[in-house]
Structure 1
Amino acid sequence: MSIRRSAKIMLPLGVLLVVAAAVMRFYVVPSVSKLPSDLDVTNHYEGTGTLLDAAALQAGDAAHAVNSNVPVTLDRHTYVSGTHGDTAIVHDDFTVNAPGGISLPTNHTYAIDRKTMDAAAAPTGIEVEAHRGLTIGLPISPNPDTGYQLYDFATGTTVPMKYTGNSTVAGREVLDYLVESAGNLQDKAILAALPPTLPKAQLAGMAPLLPADLQAKLGAAAEALPDPVPLKYTVTSKFGLAADKALGTPVNGTLAMTIIANVDIAGKPVAIMPVMALDTKLTHDSIAQAADTAASTSRLLTIAAIAVPVVMAILGLALLVIGVMRRRPHSSHTPEHSDQSSVTTTTAN
């Protein structure tokens, strides 16, 4: 192959590689740097809890109506069922498990922006839970100066996420956040598992288990209370989140929640007793799995965002330089011919 012919191949190939590097860096990488369409992860929490035994309560067995400090586990299954452009339909399912075969599920479906991880408009025909704020994690490359907010499914409200600093979990740099919320219990699944009313006789039977001041309040208001007595529930929650500094995905976390049964006395809610209290943290195995996944995903993104475009650009530029050099005409060194002057022949006379 001639030098000039090889230059004709190298120049367009060099241009193609440079353009491909730019496309890879500025178009392909941003398109994959978002919530994946095949997300499917289950995290496990463990700890202790206080749980209402509804059957015992309905039977009038006040002494066994509440099981305190029992071992509990919390399974959180998060997965994407479909994507519509930059909108993902995400399912976030929680199930509390306790001794005696107790299982309390609460399932939530959200429309989430795959880049910002905030709420998105649901596609036509798909029913999701209305919400504002983050739900399953932070966006890629989270900024600690950003005032992120978290949607609390228990109260149906959006609360600020307090950034508390950086730390390291299982070899991954993380951003630590603390979230606290309080309000009326709005979660339909949890409410369905709790009694909406309590017969006055059962409430009176529970009086010996209550503090003295509360017994006095109930005693004074007993005649005015309807039968059955309506119950209202309030909930306080405290979430701890360690989000991967590069990906924004949860690497470690804690979840504490307390639900209180309240009775309306003289127009004011009076707390009777906790009917569910959880104090849990992510298991060691779930932390290790989350850290491993974050590490492998981060490596792939680094390769795609930096290594591959840089190598392609260098090869492209090298081909362009070589191609240009080969296209230059070679200078021919021919002997210089001086103009011949007329030779005057002198004839000797």
Structure 2
Amino acid sequence: MRSRVIGTVLFGAGVLALVFAAGLAFFVAPRVERLPYDLDRTQSVAEAPNARFLQITDGKAEVNQGTLRSTVTVQPDVKETARLDGKLDGDAVVWLVGQEVVRTDTKALISAYSTSLALDRKTGAAVRWDKQWLDTGNNRQRVDYSGQIYKFPFGTGKKTYDIFDRDIGTTQPARFVKTEKIKGLETYQFTQEIRDARQELPADRLQILAAQLLPGATTGHVSYSNTRSVWVEPTTGQFVKVQETQNKTLVGDNGQKAVILDAVFTYTDDTIARSADTAAANRQRLQLVTVYAPVGLLVVGLALTAVGLAMTLRRPRAASVDGGPGSGRGRHTGPGPDGSLASTTPPADPDLAGKPGR
């Protein structure tokens, strides 16, 4: 009776563990793998040593050489996120992003932009939102973002993803290249190739640049190429390292050309280390909820239900039909040599049988 009670308790505990395992796997885990509303403000720094770049000072345009530092700042826009409605409500988050590029020697500002966009909380991809904008320093304009920009999906796969490029205003495919360990963390490398695309600039700005850099030209266009590689921690989709080999050439209407950007931007060692540490910590938290806890509860639940079921179904031990010691029950008896009823059961030890007591 007691074993049945214990078995029932164990069986119930096992079922409860299985329920919790299913709840974590199918209800909690999908909600954990989403961009948080209260994301901390982050900065990523990349440098391009010995870069050639266009610098405009007091209206004068010239191509200089030096080391450039790019700082990208990302922070959530809580107010705009709260205003999202329809399909975006609960499934998207609004980010404010800004970038500044400066010369490291003079601290002079070379270029800057700021933007507001909405991202899918699961995939990290940009979603359609009628209030997104981009400001490159001239004026704030509407932009239609799509694809991955600042993050890859939770559970990134070894496949091709589209990455949005701000300079051409559209996406281009980034193909999976290989896995690589960075700071002890496994990452997936993706590379995007943009070749001889055209970057749109305001007509008045093109005229000024052409007149100063291409004698005899009255206008032109900018030819843009970029090899962009990103190293992504696959569980979280976070960037651990980014490298961009950029080239921009001003092509005049008279056939002349001038390189206005030739630079290789790479995350600094400090940014890579911080990104790897953050991604590793976030991955551990995600795996605890999505893998370790559900699997552990599943194993414990199955074990408890099996033991509990076995104890519950086990039959109670049958009562013995033999009498107590010396009762004579269960023995085969027959007449002895002298005609008396004597047991024919042999003594336990033949050496002791028939010997007189001492």
- Regarding TM over 0.5, the answer is yes
1:131 corresponding residue in structure 2? 145
C-alpha separation in 2, matches of 1:111 and 1:273: 37
Q: Aligned pair 1:117/2:131, yes or no?
A: no
Q: Is contact 2:128–2:145 with CA below 8 Å preserved after alignment?
A: no
Q: What count of residue pairs does the alignment treat as equivalent?
A: 299
Q: Is contact 1:34–1:139 with CA below 8 Å preserved after alignment?
A: no
Q: CA RMSD in A?
A: 3.3
Shift of 1:244: 2.2
C-alpha separation in 1, matches of 2:208 and 2:280: 52
2:187 corresponding residue in structure 1? 174
Give the counterpart of 1:238 among 187, 204, 227: 227
Q: Aligned partner of 2:93: which letter?
A: A
Structure 1 residues 242 and 199: alpha-carbon distance in aligned structure 2, compared to 1, 3 A threshold:
closer
Structure 1 residues 121 and 199: alpha-carbon distance in aligned structure 2, compared to 1, 3 A threshold:
closer
Q: Aligned pair 1:22/2:36, yes or no?
A: no
Structure 1 residues 25 and 17: alpha-carbon distance in aligned structure 2, compared to 1, 3 A threshold:
same
Structure 1 residues 256 and 271: alpha-carbon distance in aligned structure 2, compared to 1, 3 A threshold:
farther
Shift of 1:46: 0.9
1:254 corresponding residue in structure 2? 243
Question: Which segments of 5 or more consecutive residues in structure 1 lack a partner in the other structure?
Answer: 59-64, 223-228, 337-349
Shift of 1:41: 2.4
C-alpha separation in 2, matches of 1:199 and 1:168: 43
1:54 is paired with a residue whose SS is: strand
C-alpha separation in 2, matches of 1:134 and 1:237: 16
Q: Aligned pair 1:77/2:63, yes or no?
A: no
Q: Aligned partner of 1:93: which letter?
A: G
1:225 corresponding residue in structure 2? none
Question: Which segments of 5 or more consecutive residues in structure 2 lack a partner in the other structure?
Answer: 82-87, 134-142, 323-358
1:289 corresponding residue in structure 2? 274
2:329 corresponding residue in structure 1? none
Matches for 1:64-213 after TM superposition, within 5 Å: 65-81=61-77, 82=81, 84-98=89-103, 99-122=106-129, 126-127=131-132, 129-144=143-158, 146-181=159-194, 182-186=196-200, 191=201, 195-198=205-208, 203=211
Structure with greater Cα Rg: 2
Shift of 1:299: 1.9
Q: Is contact 1:195–1:231 with CA below 8 Å preserved after alignment?
A: no
Structure 1 residues 168 and 334: alpha-carbon distance in aligned structure 2, compared to 1, 3 A threshold:
closer
2:205 is paired with a residue whose SS is: coil
Q: Aligned pair 1:45/2:30, yes or no?
A: no
C-alpha separation in 1, matches of 2:2 and 2:116: 64
Cα deviation digits, residues 21-44 of structure 1 (max 9, x gap): 111123222222233434442110
1:35 corresponding residue in structure 2? 35
Structure 1 residues 277 and 107: alpha-carbon distance in aligned structure 2, compared to 1, 3 A threshold:
farther
Cα deviation digits, residues 63-110 of structure 1 (max 9, x gap): xx4242212100112344348323232344221112253252212333
